Structure 1
Amino acid sequence: MQFQFSGLADFLAMDGHGVYVWSCYGVTLLVLVGLAIQPALHRRRLQRELQRQRRISEARRQRSENRVAEPV
């Protein structure tokens, strides 16, 4: 069995195409990581928005109860 490259430097250089090949791998890795993280970030954002809406509706409900309970 014979290896394609004589050493690590030749492997990284890939006969002059190393910059293109490794940049493609890098971009692909970044996109895959982004796609993996995006749903978690979106879920966290939605949970914060739902908590904010819940606090607002709870505050409105308490204000309306206080108005009904107070004599006019």
Structure 2
Amino acid sequence: MQWESWSAFWQMGGAGPFVWGSYGLTLVLVAVELVLVLRRRKDTVLRLLRWRRAVGKDVRMESLE
């Protein structure tokens, strides 16, 4: 598409608020998901370290099966 000005580009024939709002919401949701994944990873690593300390450092994967 070819736009006659930046203003026309941002307005997109009246659909601009919907289009840019959708992009904004998607960006916010991706950022929230990233924060939640990193937080869950941190919690999981801490739980595994506590578990490792509780059962001893010589635990092998074969003994868990």
What range describes the TM-score normalised by the shorter chain of this pair? Answer: 0.5 to 0.7
The alpha-carbon deviation at position 15 of structure 1 amounts to 1.0
2:39 corresponds in structure 1 to 41
The alpha-carbon deviation at position 30 of structure 1 amounts to 1.3
**Could you tell me which amino acid in structure 2 is paired with residue 22 of structure 1?**
W
Can you give the 5+ residue segments of structure 2 that lack an aligned partner in the other structure? 55-65
1:8 aligns with 2:2: no
**Could you tell me which amino acid in structure 1 is paired with residue 5 of structure 2?**
G
Can you give the 5+ residue segments of structure 1 that lack an aligned partner in the other structure? 58-72
Q: How does 1:1-72 map to 2 (within 5 A)?
A: 3=2, 5-49=3-47
- What CA RMSD, in Å, does the superposition of the two structures yield over aligned residues? 2.4
TM-score for both structures, normalised by structure 1? 0.55
**Structure of larger gyration radius:** 1
